[in-house]
Chains A and B, each alone.
Chain A
């Protein structure tokens, strides 16, 4: 999806339809039988106790799961009509449409702030004019609520920022390539409460432009910041994780259908 850089992009966020998804690490069955439809321009939260497979599931959405030796995916993930796991699909192309922000901020240490934001474009060796690149960088940093804080030191190292700023830098970096879906794996768990709040506010804005799926182990965060919530659980240790319930956030937290869901959100386990 190449657009002229000058235009304000209202990227058409896309639906992700997951069908019969099973995830393996070698012989170990990690996640079983997931069926869900992730709505565009919504924030979908994945919650559940640790080890239940929500991060594994998240990583299967942008084909990062298969990077682990021995990892295997069965089932389909369809991005607005195209199965990303179809045989002649290039994984790196998938990852340009489905971006990811990680738990611990990981700006590239050898690059400046500017270069970090532009990395997704530059690393793909797109020949872009400096002026065009400047526009994209500024837009991405503004979109991540970071522009005012760093606009005077774009050429300084990306490592010199605080944790919250680094994470917003990573968000700017992920949005600079204009994906349609943004996956976030516990993006605020390494941050202090104030930075966490900033990220949550940012996510609310970002959903206007992207489909967002966010893994969180913080239930209050899921309740605050998401529109849809999916609850994953393990039946017993050694068994695969599975999707227990998927519904609007309001319903999950006030009146869930499944007992396991209710037990989890009321803090009886996990």
Chain B
């Protein structure tokens, strides 16, 4: 049998057919990859196209009558505020829970626990929203009132305290609960990968368990934890339904966390207003979506860059 591809007679298996098969298959595969990039470009392009009328419209055509920037700014503020609360609350707890699973809990419990945390991540956001408004909000009224009474010198708690519990503080806490699983899962996975020789080295010096964790596990996982936190931040920024259900919206920019007069978030605002909107209102909402997209894009790219830089080191 000749090795030449142009074999005489009926072509044996292989040869030209094989080359064609390989070419077609790899073309389809790279086509799929290309399609994804096109989709992403499309997301950006279509958004800009549909947002353009709002960007170029006159100020009084925008809802609120004061122009696009004054419309979007309180929403952006609310988005950032809620996400900030979520990250500040969630990250320390997530690190602690991850350490608990990786180093404190008995090994057999640990597997079950990470399972539970993963299940937490799977719960749809609307359910967090319902729970927040029905359970957590009302249960927190007492605590929020207490905060107003005793700590109103802080701008965060300057009151008047809510009577329904539907405040930015509660929204932030619910968001924290929602991003907890993903930050925990990533942190836990990197903590368990801390090389044994590092940990044993610390213990051999006579370090207690906590000291070993502080000396080896935490520094080893530092960049992964930062990156996980940023992913959690990205999730919190984009979270819609929990905010849409829980938050009582009536106000503009304020740092007051415990009152019922709150700015909405970009995502929640879109979700609530879109079904009833038309014309320039829709374009305005899409423009605000563009802002949100840009913010989350930047955060995600930064998270990726951090993790890539650390890996190279």
- B18, A90: Cβ atoms closer than 8 Å: yes
- B3, A94: Cβ atoms closer than 8 Å: yes
- A90, B3: Cβ atoms closer than 8 Å: yes
**Most chain B CB atoms below 10 A, which of A84, A86, A93, A96:** A93
Which residues A70-108 have CB closer than 8 A to chain B? Answer: 79, 82, 84, 86, 88-90, 92-94, 96-97
- A96, B4: Cβ atoms closer than 8 Å: no
Option from A82, A97, A124 in Cβ contact (under 8 Å) with B13: A124
Which residues B1-48 have CB closer than 8 A to chain A? Answer: 1-6, 12-15, 18-19
Closest Cβ neighbor of B2 among chain A residues: A82
- In the bound complex, residues from chain B placing their C-beta under 8 Å from that of A84 are 3
Q: Give chain A nearest CB distance to B101 CB in angstroms.
A: 31
Q: How many A-B residue pairs have CB under 8 A?
A: 36
Closest Cβ neighbor of B22 among chain A residues: A92
- In the bound complex, residues from chain B placing their C-beta under 8 Å from that of A92 are 14, 18
Closest Cβ neighbor of B18 among chain A residues: A92
State A27–B2 Cα separation when bound (angstroms). 33
State A86–B2 Cα separation when bound (angstroms). 12
- In the bound complex, residues from chain A placing their C-beta under 8 Å from that of B14 are 90, 92-93, 96, 124
Q: Give chain A nearest CB distance to B52 CB in angstroms.
A: 45
State A19–B1 Cα separation when bound (angstroms). 22
**Most chain A CB atoms below 10 A, which of B3, B6, B15:** B3
Closest Cβ neighbor of A94 among chain B residues: B3
- A90, B2: Cβ atoms closer than 8 Å: no
State A124–B19 Cα separation when bound (angstroms). 13
- A79, B13: Cβ atoms closer than 8 Å: no
- In the bound complex, residues from chain A placing their C-beta under 8 Å from that of B19 are 90
Q: With an 8 A cutoff between CB atoms, is A2 at the interface?
A: yes
State A203–B15 Cα separation when bound (angstroms). 31
State A116–B18 Cα separation when bound (angstroms). 21
State A124–B11 Cα separation when bound (angstroms). 13
Given known pairs A1-B1, A2-B1, A97-B1, the reply for A88 and B18 (CB within 8 Å) is: no
Q: With an 8 A cutoff between CB atoms, is A131 at the interface?
A: no
Closest Cβ neighbor of A84 among chain B residues: B3
State A125–B12 Cα separation when bound (angstroms). 11
Q: With an 8 A cutoff between CB atoms, is A130 at the interface?
A: no
- In the bound complex, residues from chain A placing their C-beta under 8 Å from that of B2 are 82
- B4, A2: Cβ atoms closer than 8 Å: no
- In the bound complex, residues from chain B placing their C-beta under 8 Å from that of A2 are 1, 12
- In the bound complex, residues from chain A placing their C-beta under 8 Å from that of B6 are 88
Which residues A107-137 have CB closer than 8 A to chain B? Answer: 124-126
- B15, A90: Cβ atoms closer than 8 Å: yes
Given known pairs A90-B18, A90-B19, A92-B18, the reply for A82 and B3 (CB within 8 Å) is: yes
- A97, B12: Cβ atoms closer than 8 Å: no
Q: Give chain A nearest CB distance to B182 CB in angstroms.
A: 32
Which residues A250-268 have CB closer than 8 A to chain B? Answer: none
Closest Cβ neighbor of B1 among chain A residues: A1
State A225–B192 Cα separation when bound (angstroms). 48
- A88, B5: Cβ atoms closer than 8 Å: yes
- A89, B18: Cβ atoms closer than 8 Å: no
State A79–B15 Cα separation when bound (angstroms). 18
Query: Which residues of B come within 8 Å of A, CB atoms?
Result: 1-6, 12-15, 18-19
Q: A90-B15, A93-B5 are in contact. List 11 more A-B contacts (CB 8 A).
A: A1-B1, A2-B1, A82-B3, A84-B3, A88-B6, A89-B4, A90-B3, A93-B1, A93-B3, A96-B14, A125-B13
Query: Which residues of A come within 8 Å of B, CB atoms?
Result: 1-2, 79, 82, 84, 86, 88-90, 92-94, 96-97, 124-126
Supply 15 A–B pairs (Cβ within 8 Å), ascending by A: A1-B1, A2-B12, A79-B3, A82-B4, A84-B3, A86-B3, A88-B4, A89-B3, A90-B15, A90-B18, A90-B19, A92-B14, A93-B14, A96-B14, A97-B1
Q: Which 7 A-B pairs have the closest CB atoms?
A: A1-B1, A124-B13, A89-B3, A90-B5, A82-B3, A93-B14, A93-B3
